[in-house]
Structure 1
Amino acid sequence: RLRRAGLRPTRQRLSLGWLLFGRGDRHLTAEMLYDEAMRAKVPVSLATVYNTLHQFTEVGLLRQLALDGSKAYFDTNPSEHHHFFLEDEGQVMDMPDCGITVESLPDAPEGMEIAGVEVIVRLRRRAGARRQS
């Protein structure tokens, strides 16, 4: 997968790739992946995790999500799809494909074209609502 994307399969990229892609589609921050790497005894720095996530994003293996101004989330499913964001918990979930349409987009500025539209529905628990396990 790394070679097909044009990346040299270094030991750290391979280790982080196994952690990222070994459990299906997921949404992670660099800090979450770093914690997983530490638990798995992968010798890697947080800076290397950030660099690797950005390299994987640049070659299309990941998709970076702009959900929360304080941290970046990375999606292991780089296809175009929409998300729910649970604000109180910082959790990201794929939205079921329900035929969302966005109408009346503005014209793109001169010399630009619209590359895609991403819908993020922000959720919070109602007062008194309990978390489901």
Structure 2
Amino acid sequence: MELGLRQDDDLEIRVREAGLRPTRQRIALAELLFAKGDRHLSAEELHEEALNAGVTVSLATVYNTLHQFTEVGLLRILALEGSRTYFDTNTSDHHHFFIEGENRVVDIEAAPVSVHNLPEPPEGMEIVNVDIIVRLRPKVMRKG
């Protein structure tokens, strides 16, 4: 960050450069999202964080803001589990572990993951990227 530039000023510039109006609620949500490094959050988790931080915002506004941030490339969307969607602040191509029972998403560190024999895309389409999600759960310890 440049000398003398406050975190919220930096976020306001980032939001504005992405083509969005830097409203008070967008900046407050961006601060919660980006202040703690790379994160994976659902809209409900961010809404709860916002309320705990004293940010008055509806769940609908949180959803709208997350989707707007995704559309302009500030976030990456991860549809991992039926009805729950997670938003990733790390927009680079990378893969994830999903820890069942905890509903927690963890980045797979720069491991050499490869996918072979991808199908040919339909006429006029191209493969943009491939998301790999490895589901984890604790091992069941067997007696004997």
Where does the alignment leave 5 or more consecutive residues of structure 1 unmatched? 129-133
Which residue pairs with 2:96 in the alignment?
83
Q: Shift of residue 91 of structure 1?
A: 0.2
1:120 aligns with 2:133: yes
Residue in structure 1 matching 2:72, options 46, 59, 82: 59
Which residue pairs with 1:14 in the alignment?
27
Q: Shift of residue 87 of structure 1?
A: 1.2
Does the residue aligned with 1:2 lie in a helix, a strand or coil? helix
- Residues 97-130 of structure 1 show CA distances to partners (whole Å, capped at 9, x for unaligned) of 11111111100011111010111100011125xx
Residue in structure 2 matching 1:49, options 49, 52, 62: 62
Question: Counterparts of 2:54 and 2:136 in 1: how far apart (Å)?
Answer: 35
Bigger fraction of residues in helix: 2
Residue 100 of structure 1 aligns with an amino acid whose one-letter code is V
Question: Counterparts of 1:65 and 1:96 in 2: how far apart (Å)?
Answer: 17
Q: Which runs of 4+ in 1 moved over 4 A?
A: none
Where does the alignment leave 5 or more consecutive residues of structure 2 unmatched? 1-13
Identical aligned residues as a percent: 64
Residue in structure 2 matching 1:33, options 24, 42, 46: 46
- Residues 10-63 of structure 1 show CA distances to partners (whole Å, capped at 9, x for unaligned) of 000000000000000000000000000000010100000000000000000000
